[in-house]
Structure 1
Amino acid sequence: MASVRPRGFGGKARASVNRQLRQVLRTLDLSDNVSCQKLHGTGNQTWLVGMGAGQIVVRLDGSETVGFVDRAKEHRHAAIASSEGFGPQILLSDPQDGVLVTRYVEGRRLDEGVRPLTAELMRRLVCQLARLQSCSGFGGLMDPWAKVKLYLDDAGIDDPSAAGAFGHLWSRVQSLEGVACLDNRTLVPCHVDLVPQNLIDTGECVFLVDWEYAALSSPLWDAAYFAVETGLDSEELALWRRQVTDVLDVDTADFLNWMAVAMSVSLAWCLARQRRDQSSGDDWRVEIDRRRSELAEFLGV
């Protein structure tokens, strides 16, 4: 077996991840002739393992995720996605130990692809969202307004209209709650974290990976959050909006309202991260200023 040297850990933590990875490979009855490459991630420990028959992805709990993610629910949702054909094939699922092994998807992550995004790629993605929304077996609830409150509480912000928070935008954000809120009659399965890093395009279809936060939510959440976190330019956004309203049969005005909601959730999350990650305070201030400005421009304030 190739030498496995987890990066970003030291001492006992590094040794623990090393042992767990080796145990997973033994469980899969892999030969010693494999290569292991650590993949970039913000919480989990993810490895690309190469072998004669192809490649697999081994995902282990990271120091920032142990105890914070419902792994049983995540693995159940990932299994549904795999069986329905819009998630990678699962080779090993052990939610108790936070181990998930999938077949590697040959394709291009959307954060690594060429911009602008094409109408064909967008069509492939929105068709997968339609398939996801028609599935059964998903549980949990993702209420974006509850998320905003949670993140503001985590940030220690008592007054969201304060200059360091949402400022003068807060009244406009509050007004959205009346027109973009969850309706129990229309809840659908959502990926919830539909960022470019979690999307792999094969040219024939788009695979969705990382099901940690999947839950029931609005039919417009995934499409709106994708538009915000991908940073679609005006032409891309026009294409995406047409695909979404066509395939998902939703209203354009509703989609734009949910985009503003997604922007608000992301801004609140950044405010919470700024408080928790004091070592990167300046970086978070820049990010918060950028997102606040984008929200203001989007709302026309």
Structure 2
Amino acid sequence: MTLTDVLDDWPLWGISKQPISANQISILEGGLTNRCYQLSLESGEYIIRISAANTAELGIDRNVEKTIHQLVSSLNFTSAIRYCDDENRYLIRDYIEGEVLSDNVEDMSHNTLSYMVEQLKALHQVPVEIDLPVVNISEKAEAYWQMLATQQPNNEILKMKPLMQVAMSEPPAGDFCLCHLDPVLANWLYTAEGLQLLDWEYAGLAHPLWDLAALFQGIKHSFQQLEKKSKKNSHSEIEQNLENKILTLYGVSDLVAWRRACMQMEYLSSLWYQAQAKKDSY
């Protein structure tokens, strides 16, 4: 779907009294899957997100995403959806003024990390009274394996699929709850009202340690990228302490479950990047 197609729907949105002009739209960079634009109107600032062409291949259910987004926005975890088209090809949500945490990872304080863990813990305690699918690691991975087999049939990693799917299938011990499942730094926004969490397309009923593992890996990756640019190991001490800080802040005592959660999220993350490496442009 093109931006022009989206803008043709403007009378349906209920946020503008006239057609949208080019000077009211700006491209937002940084998204790895979808295309996003900032929309500046008299009624306010909004985000248009056009779903990627490979949404179904990635195993993303836009109806589930919309349901969860509406729930968490009512609890102030993220901004409200203003419009979503009937076929879930795009949505419009309120724009949030703030700073993406990945832009200042070097300045991340213990208080910021504590706040992030507290937000996830609060999310995990949200009562879920709606019907949501239970996240299965092997099922999520299967979508990525299928993309790999189609796009890169000679990739040596495909030989590992049977063993990896069995090894990664069993979740950590413990109850499932509402999880974001992609709380990397780029999805956190620091605002005047506190932290907001963006991009709920992978959210579902899942193990809370998966959220913590994804957070840990995302922050660690950001520090590693900085080290590559500076060609120094100045962040090694921070990386070593990061895991213990997260576990202590959340109150994790089952280290066996934690190690399993970390392996499973590393498994999904690695497959996701492999599957996205040669995706079609849109």
TM-score by structure 2 length? 0.74
Measure how far apart 1:105 and its partner are. Answer: 1.6
Give the whole-Å Cα distance in 2 for the aligned partners of 1:84 and 1:138: 18
Match of 1:227 among 216, 233, 251: 216
* Conserved 8 A contact 2:28-2:38: yes
* Conserved 8 A contact 1:126-1:243: yes
Q: Give the share of equivalent positions with the same residue, in percent.
A: 22
* Conserved 8 A contact 1:125-1:205: no
1:213 aligns to what? 202
Structure-to-structure mapping, 1:104-183, within 5 angstroms:
104-135=95-126, 136=128, 137=130, 139-156=132-149, 164-165=156-157, 177=168, 181-182=171-172
Structure-to-structure mapping, 1:1-301, within 5 angstroms:
13=2, 15-20=4-9, 22-23=10-11, 27-30=14-17, 35-40=24-29, 41-52=31-42, 54-65=44-55, 69-135=60-126, 136=128, 137=130, 139-156=132-149, 164-165=156-157, 177=168, 181-182=171-172, 186-202=175-191, 205-230=194-219, 231=221, 232=223, 234=236, 235-236=238-239, 238-274=241-277, 276-277=278-279
Between stretches 96-105 and 118-127, larger displacement belongs to 96-105
* Conserved 8 A contact 1:110-1:196: yes
The secondary structure found in structure 1 opposite 2:70 is helix
**Match for 1:272: what amino acid?**
A
**Match for 2:157: what amino acid?**
A
Instruction: Report how many aligned residue pairs link the two structures.
Output: 258
Measure how far apart 1:252 and its partner are. Answer: 3.9
Give the whole-Å Cα distance in 2 for the aligned partners of 1:14 and 1:101: 12
- 1:186–1:101 distance in 2 versus 1, CA, 3 Å: same
Give the whole-Å Cα distance in 2 for the aligned partners of 1:129 and 1:195: 12
Give the whole-Å Cα distance in 2 for the aligned partners of 1:237 and 1:201: 25
Runs (5+) with no aligned partner, structure 2? 224-234
Measure how far apart 1:122 and its partner are. Answer: 0.9
Measure how far apart 1:273 and its partner are. Answer: 3.2
**Match for 2:16: what amino acid?**
D
TM-score by structure 1 length? 0.70
Q: CA RMSD in A?
A: 3.6
